[in-house]
């Protein structure tokens, strides 16, 4: 296949970055920024895989291609960059450093998409380094002390990771005798090469203790940059391990054990550190660290038991897409919340944010729950010693994520991020809603996109509800306890019983009002009757009426007596004689 589709997928963002230098073309470039990933998306959606193209005219050659795994990574990564580019166009409209942000944003996008298409070690490393170093400008963008500290920390870890990655790739390529990634996966790299590759990719993945750069960088970077830093770029660490390490063919027990142990620690240590943060985007950063701990469990299991990798690999790709869409929606939703001008809009955005938050936590039948259940099933083919612990950790990870999401929701109300002035809220809201809808619908669309790779997820159980409910209950309890400690136990009890006292006081007031009404009525009726009687002279009228009634009764009795006597006297005398003849008994 010709190189043109691949070069257009990587080249369009680079052309836009170069065009931003000229003031005459900047307005047009910003309008095109949301469409920069479209060539890569079109290639992933329309082309038949596998495919590759080579350019032998370069000094060491260039090989780009697409297989089933990289195709899925390009799809969700391209969607993230489209949504982030749409947000960046409006978020940076009046920013004095918009041009420098746009250049770094487009270059990081080119590096991110390029490493997914690279099929040789040299181009892969070049694109990986371009993405990493361009992201330094995104973290440093605001130039305030927080951004400067986060950028220094970030660039230090980037240099460490790039050195380890370069050494690991060079050593693995020398041992394989080839620069092609497929040859590196099929070779037998040394333990040192594997350790260097894990270190280099682990820095980008953010697994503890290589995570220190990630939360501060997410907290300092503008919202569109945070969305792609967490949603897309840290997945380069996962993709790199899948593309370079001999997963599924060779066992590296020590490396797998170390990676699984680091993943288990990462899931829950990120919770303990994240709930102490005061920046909502930093909390989301620690949530990403915790989620990458889950990814480390799967990678470690694949290194420990190669036979299980065939089942684990499709789940890893699904978890990457799930986290990328949900976390990207949460970061863009943070900007949408900040852009709202009033409380009704912020309440509506908060309810919308709960959707990707619960998806990330693992609500039953969501992508988060399906991914974890599929991973549990896949890990059953791995180490029997580790399996019980891994199942428990994956189940309890829902509690940890729910608590981090609760902390995040509380912080966006307590200390919301600042939105640029003159920002159109609707323009920031639409990309967030689009990514949120994509994260919710992922279980439905994944079989259409992944085809055979979707089977482990399609056959997974819907998951349990209790970890999320437990996280909600614990979060509410912690919030209540913190509020009680802040205002004092006595005041808290007073506030707690205030509704009941108010209801009692209201009932007592109603009863007292009724008693007063009855008393007033009891006083008013005799007085009213007396006044009416006096006004109408009802006393004399009643006596006269009584005398009239008595006279009427007497007159009636007299009239009845007078009419009864003549009736008896008119009886026939013959009839009386006959009555006398009746014998007496």
User: How confident is the model over 354-398, as pLDDT tens digits?
Assistant: 999 999 999 999 999 999 999 999 988 877 888 888 889 999 999
Q: Which helix (H) or strand (E) holds 63?
A: strand 62-66
Give the list of residues 6+ apart from residue 179 with CB closer than 8 angstroms, or none: 60, 61, 120, 121, 122, 173
For residues 290 and 226, state if they share a domain.
no
Question: Roughly what angle, to the nearest 10 degrees, separates helices 235-244 and 191-205?
Answer: 160
pLDDT at 84: 95
For residues 58 and 195, state if they share a domain.
yes
pLDDT at 455: 92
Is the CB of residue 269 less than 8 Å from the CB of residue 260? no
65: left (phi over 0), alpha (psi -120 to 50) or beta: beta
HSE-up of residue 245 (Cα within 13 Å, Cβ side): 33
Alpha carbons 396 and 554: distance in angstroms, whole number = 101
Where is the domain boundary, 203, 227, 248?
248
pLDDT at 534: 64
Per-residue pLDDT at 33 exceeds 60: yes
For residues 123 and 237, state if they share a domain.
yes
For residues 293 and 184, state if they share a domain.
no
Report if residue 492 sits inside a domain.
no
For residues 94 and 169, state if they share a domain.
yes
User: Does 50 sit behind a cis peptide bond, omega within 30 degrees of 0 on the bond before it?
Assistant: yes
Give the list of residues 6+ apart from residue 345 with CB closer than 8 angstroms, or none: 425
CA neighbor of 220 nearest in space, from 144, 160, 325, 329: 144
Alpha carbons 55 and 2: distance in angstroms, whole number = 9
Per-residue pLDDT at 583 exceeds 70: no
For residues 330 and 419, state if they share a domain.
yes
User: Does 209 sit behind a cis peptide bond, omega within 30 degrees of 0 on the bond before it?
Assistant: yes
Is the CB of residue 256 less than 8 Å from the CB of residue 301? yes
Per-residue pLDDT at 52 exceeds 80: yes
Give the list of residues 6+ apart from residue 495 with CB closer than 8 angstroms, or none: 487
Alpha carbons 64 and 11: distance in angstroms, whole number = 13
Q: Are strands 62-66 and 51-55 parallel, antiparallel or unpaired?
A: antiparallel
Alpha carbons 39 and 7: distance in angstroms, whole number = 9
Determine the structural domain holding residue 581 and report its residue range: 537-585
Which one-letter DSSP state was computed for residue 584?
P
pLDDT tier for residue 32 given thresholds of 50, 70 and 90: very high
pLDDT tier for residue 34 given thresholds of 50, 70 and 90: very high
pLDDT tier for residue 485 given thresholds of 50, 70 and 90: confident
For residues 140 and 218, state if they share a domain.
yes
Beta carbons within 10 angstroms of residue 276's beta carbon: 10
For residues 257 and 283, state if they share a domain.
yes
pLDDT tier for residue 585 given thresholds of 50, 70 and 90: very low
The string of pLDDT tens digits covering residues 487-505 is 777 777 777 777 887 887 8
Is the CB of residue 415 less than 8 Å from the CB of residue 278? yes
Report the mean per-residue pLDDT for the chain.
Answer: 87
For residues 203 and 95, state if they share a domain.
yes
CA neighbor of 431 nearest in space, from 228, 131, 214, 215: 228
Per-residue pLDDT at 94 exceeds 50: yes
Structurally, the chain folds into a number of domains equal to 3
Model's pTM, two decimal places? 0.84
Where is the domain boundary, 192, 226, 248?
248
pLDDT at 576: 44
pLDDT tier for residue 562 given thresholds of 50, 70 and 90: low
Alpha carbons 76 and 392: distance in angstroms, whole number = 29
Structure-token pair, residue 559: 């009239």
Per-residue pLDDT at 97 exceeds 50: yes
For residues 360 and 219, state if they share a domain.
no
Per-residue pLDDT at 420 exceeds 50: yes
For residues 458 and 390, state if they share a domain.
yes
Per-residue pLDDT at 579 exceeds 60: no
- Computed on alpha carbons and rounded to an integer, the radius of gyration of the chain in Å comes to 41
pLDDT at 552: 78
* Backbone angles phi and psi of 385, in degrees to 5: -70, -40
Report if residue 23 sits inside a domain.
yes
Alpha carbons 537 and 239: distance in angstroms, whole number = 107
Per-residue pLDDT at 302 exceeds 80: yes
For residues 240 and 313, state if they share a domain.
no
Is the CB of residue 221 less than 8 Å from the CB of residue 284? no
């Amino acid at each position: 296949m010709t190189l043109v589709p691949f070069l257009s997928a990587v080249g369009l963002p680079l052309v836009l970055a170069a065009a931003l230098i000229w003031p005459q073309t900047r307005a047009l470039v910003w309008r095109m920024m949301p469409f920069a990933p479209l060539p890569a998306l079109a290639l992933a959606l329309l082309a038949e895989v596998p495919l590759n193209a080579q350019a032998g005219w370069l000094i060491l050659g260039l090989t780009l291609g697409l297989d089933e795994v990289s195709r899925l990574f390009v799809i969700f990564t391209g969607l993230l960059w489209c949504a982030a580019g749409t947000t960046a166009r409006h978020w940076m409209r009046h920013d004095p450093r918009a041009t420098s942000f746009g250049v770094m944003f487009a270059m990081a996008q080119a590096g991110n998409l390029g490493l997914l298409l690279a099929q040789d070690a040299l181009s892969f490393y070049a694109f990986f380094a371009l993405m990493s170093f361009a992201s330094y400008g995104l973290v440093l963008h605001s130039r305030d002390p927080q951004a400067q500290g986060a950028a220094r920390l970030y660039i230090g870890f980037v240099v460490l990771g790039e050195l380890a990655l370069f050494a690991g790739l060079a050593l693995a390529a020398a041992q394989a005798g080839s620069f092609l990634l497929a040859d590196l996966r099929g070779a037998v790299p040394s333990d040192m090469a594997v350790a260097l590759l894990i270190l280099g990719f682990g820095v980008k993945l953010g697994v503890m203790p290589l995570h220190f750069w990630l939360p501060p960088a997410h907290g300092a970077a503008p919202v569109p940059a945070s969305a792609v830093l967490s949603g897309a770029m840290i997945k380069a660490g996962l993709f790199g391990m899948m593309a370079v390490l001999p997963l599924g063919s060779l066992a590296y027990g020590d490396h797998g054990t170390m990676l699984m142990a680091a993943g288990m620690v990462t899931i829950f240590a990120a919770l303990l550190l994240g709930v102490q943060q005061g920046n909502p985007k930093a909390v989301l950063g620690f949530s990403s660290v915790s989620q990458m701990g889950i990814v480390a469990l799967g990678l470690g299991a694949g290194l420990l038991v190669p036979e299980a990798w065939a089942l684990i690999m499709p789940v890893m790709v699904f978890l990457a897409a799930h986290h990328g869409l949900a976390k990207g929606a949460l970061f863009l939703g943070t900007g949408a919340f900040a852009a709202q001008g009033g409380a009704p809009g912020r309440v509506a955005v908060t309810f919308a944010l709960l959707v990707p938050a619960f998806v990330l936590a693992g609500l039953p039948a969501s992508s988060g729950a399906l991914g974890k259940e599929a991973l549990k099933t896949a890990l059953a083919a791995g180490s029997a010693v580790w399996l019980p612990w891994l199942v428990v950790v994956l189940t309890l990870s829902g509690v940890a994520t729910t608590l981090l999401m609760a902390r995040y929701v509380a912080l966006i109300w307590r200390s919301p991020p600042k939105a640029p002035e003159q920002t159109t809220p609707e323009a920031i809201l639409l990309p967030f809603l689009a990514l949120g809808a994509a994260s919710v619908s992922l279980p439905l669309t994944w079989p259409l996109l992944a085809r055979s790779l979707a089977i482990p997820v399609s056959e997974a159980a819907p998951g349990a509800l209790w970890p999320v409910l437990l996280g909600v209950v614990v979060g509410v309890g912690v919030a209540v306890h913190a509020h009680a400690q802040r205002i004092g136990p006595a005041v808290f009890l007073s506030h707690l019983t205030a509704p009941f006292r108010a209801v009692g006081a209201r009932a007592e007031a109603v009863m007292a009002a009724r008693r007063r009404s009855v008393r007033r009525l009891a006083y008013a009726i005799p007085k009213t009757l007396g006044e009416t009687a006096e006004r109408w002279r009802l006393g004399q009228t009643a006596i006269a009426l009584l005398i009239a009634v008595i006279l009427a009764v007497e007159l009636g009795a007299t009239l009845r007596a007078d009419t009864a006597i003549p009736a008896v006297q008119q009886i026939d005398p013959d009839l009386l004689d006959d009555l006398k003849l009746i014998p007496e008994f």
